[in-house]
Amino acid sequence: MKKQSTTKSFAVLSAAQIISKVLSVVYLPFLINILGDKGYGMYAAAYIVYAFIYVVTNSGIPVAISKIMSELFALENFKDAIKSFKIARTMLISLGIIMSVLMFFLAAPLATVTKSKSSALAIKALAPTVFFTSILTAYRGYFQGRSNMTPTAISQVIEQIINTVFSLVFAAILMKKGPEMGAAGGTIGTSLGAFVASVYLVMVYNRNNHIRVPKGYNGKEIKRYSNKRLINKILNYSIPMTVCIGLQNAGALVDLWNVKSRLISAGFLSVTEELFGWLSKYNSLINVPIAIISCLAAALLPAISGAAALNDKKEVGKNINYAFRLCFLISIPAAFGLAVLSKPIYELLHVRGGYMLMLLGSSVVVLMSVVQIQTTILQGIGKLYVVTLYAILGLLGKIITNYIFVGIPKINILGAVAGNIVCFLIPLFLNYITINKVLKVKISLYKNMKKPLISSVIMSIAVLVVYLTVNGVISLVFKGYLGNAIATLVSIGVGALVYLYSLIVFRGITKADLDTIPRKLIRLLPRKMINLIK
């Protein structure tokens, strides 16, 4: 199996995530229109419960698979690398079965505790997905550990296509029996998508599970590990990582309980589901650029783990600075773009109310992206418990902020945005201090973000001018949705070109960075612009 570089891995995963997220954004307004705001609120609540259980089940062991395999491959201990995967796979699938059963039978209590009684049926419908995803994530961890992201990327696209089609079909069919059934129908595609994608990865694994060993390998003295030692290694990595990622993702679960209860106390009982639906739409949209950063984190982990295992501090530092550069190159313009075009984008996607959440809360894209990269770095060098502690502090800050601001009637659901900002600001600063202290690597967040920030400001001005101009002209002929759609799409296209050109002028992008962009996209760019890159 061919090993891919960090840059190539990131490019492959990013391409898959872009396709997957475009599909998810396209199908979101259709799902909302089928279910209505109330039905979508039920669906979103069930999905948050599922997402937390998914994280608890699948976040730790796949990361352990990737980390241990990349370390053992770096040390040329191929036999124990494969053995560790098989042990971890058994552990993960067993855990998936247990959590699926518990989720199914505890659906009603879970819905009650989270102030979402009407979502119980949808939670039950999502229960089998936990089992299917345990198989799926085990094999994704394997391919990530082998530094080959292509199978994972293809599986993500397959999963999203199946999810998109069947979620809409079953939501439409079952909505005739009421919003609770419709919400449950909207989750069926998630299970089917995970099942088909896992079957695909198992087939790829069976075709490509051989390892090419270097010449003279059999003559080397390789330190071998017993099954017990490998199990302990898996647990030592996976348990703190599960707690850490679980706490980071518990923010959505906190919102489900904390935000809903505070909305009710502020006098919004009759529209709680609708307002929470607004928050869910906002979270869904900001997760589009976040998904690309997740690709970078996934591609980065094997590189950092392997370099750390060889005690190569220079390589670790190089990967870290590279990660932050790409993180800011993607997240900062995304945040500015979502803020400037918040209302037009909401109208374009037919997701109705709540655009003020995006206008005020798009900065979360940058904060969450940085924390995700920081977490991967600390995870790669073994500082798992430190990351967990910082995540706890961030979550406590979120709970307090939500309690104060969501309970103020004039602020209500907008207070959840403040909670999100606090949730990521706290670990961001603490992670930054720890990374600099432990690694003693020169990392300047300001230096890495300065050029993308300047370019994003220029882009935002251009986007705003283009949108107002185009919309003003087109509205003379096409009023309403069509005029806004054309103006929004044109301004997004112009904004992308202005941002890229500004980066080139300020030397914020290099020829090496072009390797992270799929060749087919590069061909769409003007040749003169590409020639300016040094």
Distance CA 384, CA 246 (A): 13
Distance CA 119, CA 102 (A): 16
pLDDT at 219: 47
- In order, the DSSP letters of 66-118 are HHHHHHHHHTT-HHHHHHHHHHHHHHHHHHHHHHHHHHHHTHHHHHHHTT-GG
Counting Cα atoms < 13 Å in the Cβ hemisphere of 141 gives 30
Do 487 and 474 contact (CB within 8 A), yes or no?
A: yes
Distance CA 146, CA 209 (A): 10
Q: Who contacts 337 (Cβ-Cβ below 8 Å, separation ≥6)?
A: 456, 459, 460, 463, 492, 495
Do 131 and 114 contact (CB within 8 A), yes or no?
A: no
Give me the helix-helix angle, 179-207 and 6-58, nearest 10°: 130
**Residues constituting the chain:** 534
pLDDT at 16: 66
pLDDT at 533: 67
Q: Which two tokens stand for residue 459?
A: 């882009």
Distance CA 389, CA 476 (A): 57
Q: Which two tokens stand for residue 386?
A: 């430190």
Distance CA 244, CA 54 (A): 14
Rg for the chain, CA atoms, rounded: 23
pTM: 0.73
pLDDT at 332: 92
Counting Cα atoms < 13 Å in the Cβ hemisphere of 40 gives 26
3-class SS of residue 210: coil
Do 393 and 427 contact (CB within 8 A), yes or no?
A: yes
* Three-state SS annotation for 23-61: HHHHHHHHHHHHHHHHHHHHHHHHHHHHHHHHHHHHCHH
**What burial class does residue 245 get, using C-beta atoms within 10 Å of its C-beta: 0-12 exposed, 13-18 middle, 19+ buried?**
buried
Distance CA 523, CA 68 (A): 38
Distance CA 71, CA 77 (A): 9
Q: Which two tokens stand for residue 93?
A: 């699938």
Ramachandran angles phi, psi of 209, nearest 5°: -90, 10
- In order, the DSSP letters of 478-525 are S-THHHHHHHHHHHHHHHHHHHHHHHHHTT---TGGGGGS-HHHHTTS
Of 360, 369, 344, 331, residue with least CA distance to 492: 344
pLDDT at 81: 82
pLDDT in tens, the chain (534 residues): 555 555 555 566 666 666 776 777 677 778 888 888 778 888 888 988 898 899 889 888 887 888 788 778 777 777 888 888 889 899 999 999 999 999 999 999 988 887 778 889 999 999 999 999 999 988 988 887 777 778 888 888 899 899 999 999 999 999 988 888 999 999 999 999 999 999 999 999 888 766 665 555 554 566 777 888 888 888 887 887 787 777 767 777 777 778 888 888 888 777 777 787 788 778 878 877 777 676 656 566 556 666 666 666 677 777 777 778 878 888 899 999 999 999 998 888 776 667 888 888 899 999 988 888 888 788 777 777 788 888 889 989 989 998 999 888 888 888 889 998 999 999 999 998 888 888 776 677 788 888 999 999 999 999 999 999 998 888 877 777 788 889 999 999 999 889 988 988 887 777 666 665 556 556 666 666 666 666
Q: Who contacts 216 (Cβ-Cβ below 8 Å, separation ≥6)?
A: none
Distance CA 310, CA 316 (A): 10
